[in-house]
Every structure is written in C-alpha cells, then in structure tokens.
Chains A and B, each alone.
Chain A
C-alpha cells in the first residue's frame, strides 16, 4: 500500500521527483560531510537537542552511552540504501528526510541536520505512513551507487 501510493505520486510528478532526488542526495552528502569532519553533536539540529536525546535514549535502554548512539547513527548513514522524503502539503512547515538501516532510523530536517535517531518499532505507526494518511507528499528513493560509496567512507 505504501509503495503503491509513492509510485503513483512519482509517476504523476516526474519532474518534481528528479528535483527532489537531487535535493535529497545533496542533503545526505552535506550530512555525511558534517558527520565526517566535525564533532558528531554538530551534525544535529542543536547541541541541546542532541544532549536530550542521549539522556532520553539511555534511560529508555536503547543505547549504552553517547558513543554507542553515535556509532548506531553513523551506521545508518553509512549503510543507507534508500531515503524517504516527506513534504507536508497542508500549510505546515518541516519537510523531512528519513534513512532506515538495520532497524534504526535517522530523521534529517530541511537544514540537512539530524533531528533524531531512534530504533524502529513495528507497533508504532511509521513516519511515512503517518504523512501518507495526512495526504502529504511522500517520495521513496533508492540511493545511487556513487552516493553509497561516499557514505560508506564516513
């Protein structure tokens, strides 16, 4: 159901899809550059937000410590196979890009910075399904081999 919805939208918006792909891959490369050249917390939306995530996820037992969180998040970005890009359509802000790998999810905001990084939970409504249900534009892309090679190096 999810795939059919996305493919249907892609077929009817091919020009938009190409543009979205370029933007999504540029955001991903920008993020990988940040992650490889700066302190990990600088790749986040804000340092305060990053610190809160570390505390919360440690309390939830999802990570051991900040180093574990960094390793899990880096692993998602380095092994990304596909991207989900969401653009809300009902006058609301915050388009997002989602990467999933090995049961872990990383969400990136419009500025190309990490919003959150968390484990997939099958009991919860997925990020993309929530947006599809809301009538938002949702695109799914498989990452090109060239981009994958760059990401693998982080």
Chain B
C-alpha cells in the first residue's frame, strides 16, 4: 500500500460517500466502495477527527442500506457487512 496524502484520503472519503449514496445492494456493484472503505480503514489514524466522524456517518448510512435490504446476500453484501461489522435481518433469519 502506498502512503497516501491527506488530499488523497479526502478523495477516497468523498468517493466512499458517493458510492454509498448511489448503491443498491442487488446491483452487485460493491467492489469500488469496498476498495474505498478498506483504504480508509488502513489509514484511519491518518484521518482528521472530522473525517473520522464523517466516515462513521457514512458507515451508518451503509448499515441502514444493508438492514433495509431483504434480497439474497451477494458477495458484495457479505464483504461490506464484514467491512463495517454489522449483521442484517437476513443473517438473523438464517440463524
């Protein structure tokens, strides 16, 4: 992993926010948003306090999308759940 500048991290934060804003789990299009989330996780300590709070807010939006979704669990959905560490009602139904 390259060392990322503050500007690059800001860019990934903005990108992650946009991916979540337009993401629908059944579209099977999560690789980019997962990529952003992983970069932000690896560089969490380099984020400003404000950006850390923004990341938590976006994660909450992502969690809500996953909680509201009641379709089949695809690969992207499973990966995002792991990334933001939540379980959904699909998991609870299966348990």
Q: Footprint of B on A, CB under 8 Å?
A: 45-46, 49, 52-53, 55-56, 59-60, 88, 92-94, 96, 107, 109, 115-116, 118, 121-125, 127, 130-131, 134, 136
Contacts and interface: CB of A to CB of B under 8 A. Distances in A.
Interface residues of B, number: 29
A56 B74 contact: no
B68 interface: no
A123 B75 contact: no
Interface of B: 1-2, 4, 8, 12, 14-15, 18-19, 21-22, 24, 27-29, 31-32, 34-36, 38-39, 72-76, 78-79
Q: Top 5 nearest A-B pairs by Cβ distance?
A: A124-B35, A52-B22, A94-B74, A116-B29, A94-B28
A17 B59 CA distance: 39
Contacts of B34: 125, 130
Contact of B75 (A45, A92, A124): A92
